Structures are given as C-alpha cells and as structure tokens.
C-alpha cells in the first residue's frame, strides 16, 4: 500500500489568548504525486490549515491539537531546525499576494539564491540554476530580471518569480494559497496553466487552497470542502462536481454560473452568513443555513465518514441522483 506523503489528522487551530477555535479537527491525506484542493469561504480555516503545515501561523494563533505527519515526521512536534530544513526544500509555498510576498529592497536574483543558500552551499552553478528556474516559469530577459527589484515587475510576473522560487529545490509538496486571487483573469489562466504543467512534469504533490471551485476543477485530483473550520465533504473532483452529498457543497455548486445555461435565471445563493468557527460548538456548523436541517443536526456534530473517493459529514446527505 502507498503511504501518504502528508497526513493531517484531528488538526485543531485556535487563538493563543482567550482560546477560540479557528480550525476544528481537520483530517486529510495527500498521496505522493496527488493534487488536493481545499475550497471554502473566507474564514473557513483553509489558509490557516495550509500555513500550519509549514509552521507559518500568524502571531497569536497556534496548533491546538492533532498531528501533521509529513514523510514520517510529525511537524507539530518538530524542532525549529527540522522545520527550517523542510521549508523551501521539501515543502514550499506560493502565497496569495505576489505584491507583498517579495522583499521590496532585495534584488530578485538574490531572493532566489537565498533559497539555495539556506539549504545547500552556494557555488558557481547556483546562478545558472536560478536563471534556469526563472526561464522555466516564463520570465523574459532572465539576466535583467535577476538584477531587478520586485517593484519593477507586474503582479503576474512576480507570481511567476514566486513559483520559480518555490520550485527551485524541487519540493515534494507545493502548497498554493490562492495564488491567482490577486491577479486579473487572463493572468490567472496563465498562472494556473504554468502550475499544472510544472506539477505534471515533476510529479509533485500539491495542496491548492482556493475559494473558487471553477479554478481547481481541472487542476486537482481530489477536493476538500471546508465550512466554518470543519471539513464538510471530501472526494474526487468528479464525485464532488457531479454528485455532491453535503447540502453546503450542493449550494456552492448551484451558485456557480454555467456557460451552457441560457435561461437567464438568477443564480441561487445560500441564505444567511457563515458562522464563526468558535461559536459552532457540538453541532453541525451548517445547520442554521441548511434547508435539510433537523433537530438531530443541532444536537451533535456529524462525523466525516466514507472513503478516500468520497466522504461527507452530514446527517442528511443529498443522496445519489
């Protein structure tokens, strides 16, 4: 049996002072070479989940329980030096906003060389390696780019640089935290194509965080749907798109505009607003907005049950069509 590359189980994340649960007992696995997407609204805990893998949670927020096992090491218990060795080499990350993610007073070449310097010794070939990495992500005039500062580049170009930086040491796992959200639509498509091409070439595992179901559909093998700090549904892209089981997933999909539908109907929306994760308690987080909710849903929290291909946390799933 193939062992998962990353195995997150029972992961809880909360604020340090006046503890408030932000992510509640999240479990999922990523197989070698597999791409997994995490979708959810703002505040659903998807970005925190991603950041916790690299130990990059913002100040005042910490892992409260569970484990994150990567290649046999529990990252929640790893010492700082182990984490440092992992970051940028085995696991790397592309962030949401390329405009602020690069050091504004450091030349781009220098920022990429820093990745090599942090994990290996810099040698005569290092510059060539960085240049090759930049060329690979479609940066024109690489020699000039090496000597440029971030402000001389557009958002799309900066995100390409970030991707080159992340791929430089051929990581086993690439985490992408909404890398296209800050870019305009045509550039989004280019970046998506670039990442999926690189992923196929390197047979690299990926965790792709997004709030846009349309973005990940062609990009990942499996999808995880998060709501208010919980996983409500997980499964293959095919299963989730054609046969969503959780009423929330169902609602999300029916709010997507369709290119073939010419009926000019209003898009359906889910009534209400998402609940704060720390206010959920021992109930189904979606119950207040769910059209199928019963008293059972507010009496206890449903567990995520099913297989790797399809699992759902709901007392009243939609059922097969």
Partner 1 sequence: MSFGERTSRILLSTPVLRIGSIFTTLFGISIFVFLVLRVIPGDSIVGAFGIETGVLTPEQIAQLKIYYGIDKSLPMQYLSWMQSFLTGNMGYSYSTGISIASLTAKALPVTIELALIGTILGVVMGIAVGTFSARKPGSIRDFAGQLFGLMALAVPGFVLSTTIVTIMANKFHYFPNGYEFVRLWEDPWMNLQQMMFPGLVLGIAVAAPVMRTTRSALLETVDKDFVRTAIGKGVSPRKVQTRHILRNSLIPIVTMTGIQFGYLLGGAVIVENIFSLPGMGRQVLYAITRREYATVQSSVMVFAILFIAINVITDLIYRKVDPRIKK
The verdict on 87 binding partner 1 (CB under 8 A) reads: yes
Residue (148 or 236) nearer to partner 1, CB:
148
The verdict on 106 binding partner 1 (CB under 8 A) reads: yes
In Å, how far from its chain's centre is CA 182?
A: 15
Number of other CB atoms surrounding residue 287 within 10 Å: 22
The verdict on 133 binding partner 1 (CB under 8 A) reads: no
The verdict on 54 binding partner 1 (CB under 8 A) reads: yes
Query: Site for partner 1 (CB under 8 A): which residue of 72, 104, 214, 257?
Result: 104
The verdict on 62 binding partner 1 (CB under 8 A) reads: no
Residue (84 or 292) nearer to partner 1, CB:
84
Residue 60 Cβ vs partner 1, minimum distance, rounded to whole Å: 10
Residue 165 Cβ vs partner 1, minimum distance, rounded to whole Å: 7
Residue (153 or 315) nearer to partner 1, CB:
153
CA–CA separation, 309 vs 199, rounded Å?
21
Cα atoms found within 13 Å of the Cα of residue 309, Cβ hemisphere only:
4
The first and second tokens of residue 205, run together, are 């595992």
Query: Site for partner 1 (CB under 8 A): which residue of 16, 77, 85, 132?
Result: 85
The verdict on 95 binding partner 1 (CB under 8 A) reads: yes
Residue (52 or 245) nearer to partner 1, CB:
52
Residue 5: C-alpha distances to residues 10, 299, 310 (Å): 17, 36, 19
With tokens 């559909």, the residue in question is 217
* Residue 315 near residue 246 (C-beta atoms within 8 A): no
SS3 of 73, please? Answer: strand
Residue 26 Cβ vs partner 1, minimum distance, rounded to whole Å: 21
Cα atoms found within 13 Å of the Cα of residue 215, Cβ hemisphere only:
26
Query: Site for partner 1 (CB under 8 A): which residue of 41, 67, 149, 278?
Result: 149
Residues 6 or more apart in contact with residue 110 via CB below 8 angstroms: none
Q: Give the length of the chain.
A: 321
The first and second tokens of residue 192, run together, are 């998506």
The verdict on 121 binding partner 1 (CB under 8 A) reads: no
Residues 6 or more apart in contact with residue 74 via CB below 8 angstroms: 67, 68
The verdict on 165 binding partner 1 (CB under 8 A) reads: yes
The verdict on 80 binding partner 1 (CB under 8 A) reads: yes
Point out which residues bind partner 1 (CB under 8 A).
54, 56, 58-59, 80, 84-89, 92-93, 95, 97, 100-106, 114-115, 118-119, 149, 151, 162, 165
């Amino acid at each position: 049996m193939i062992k998962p590359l990353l195995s997150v189980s029972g992961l809880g994340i909360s604020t340090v002072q006046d503890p408030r649960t932000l992510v509640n007992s999240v479990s999922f696995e990523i197989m070698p070479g597999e791409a997994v997407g995490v979708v959810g609204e703002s505040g659903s805990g998807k970005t925190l989940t991603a950041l916790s893998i690299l130990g990059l949670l913002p100040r005042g927020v910490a892992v409260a329980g569970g484990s994150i096992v990567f290649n046999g090491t529990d990252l929640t218990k790893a010492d700082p030096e182990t984490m440092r060795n992992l970051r940028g080499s085995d696991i790397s990350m592309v962030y949401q906003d390329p405009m602020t993610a690069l050091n504004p007073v450091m030349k781009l070449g220098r920022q990429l060389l820093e990745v090599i310097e942090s994990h290996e010794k810099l040698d005569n070939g290092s510059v060539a390696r960085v240049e090759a990495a930049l060329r690979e992500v479609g940066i024109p005039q690489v020699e000039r780019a090496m000597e440029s500062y971030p402000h001389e580049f557009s958002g799309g170009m900066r995100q390409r640089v970030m991707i080159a930086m992340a791929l430089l040491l051929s990581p086993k796992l690439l985490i992408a935290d909404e890398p296209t959200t800050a870019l305009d639509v045509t550039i989004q498509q280019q970046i998506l194509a670039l990442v999926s091409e690189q992923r196929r070439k390197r047979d690299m595992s990926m965790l792709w965080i997004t709030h846009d179901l349309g973005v990940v559909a062609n990009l990942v093998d499996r999808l995880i749907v998060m709501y208010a700090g919980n996983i409500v549904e997980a499964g293959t892209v095919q299963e989730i798109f054609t046969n969503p089981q959780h009423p929330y997933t169902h609602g999300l999909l029916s709010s997507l505009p369709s290119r073939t539908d010419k009926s000019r109907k209003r898009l359906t929306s889910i009534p209400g607003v998402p609940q704060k994760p720390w206010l959920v308690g021992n109930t189904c987080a979606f119950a207040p907005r769910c059209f199928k909710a019963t008293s059972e849903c507010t009496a206890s929290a449903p567990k995520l049950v099913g297989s790797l291909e399809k699992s759902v946390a709901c007392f009243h799933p939609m059922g097969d069509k």
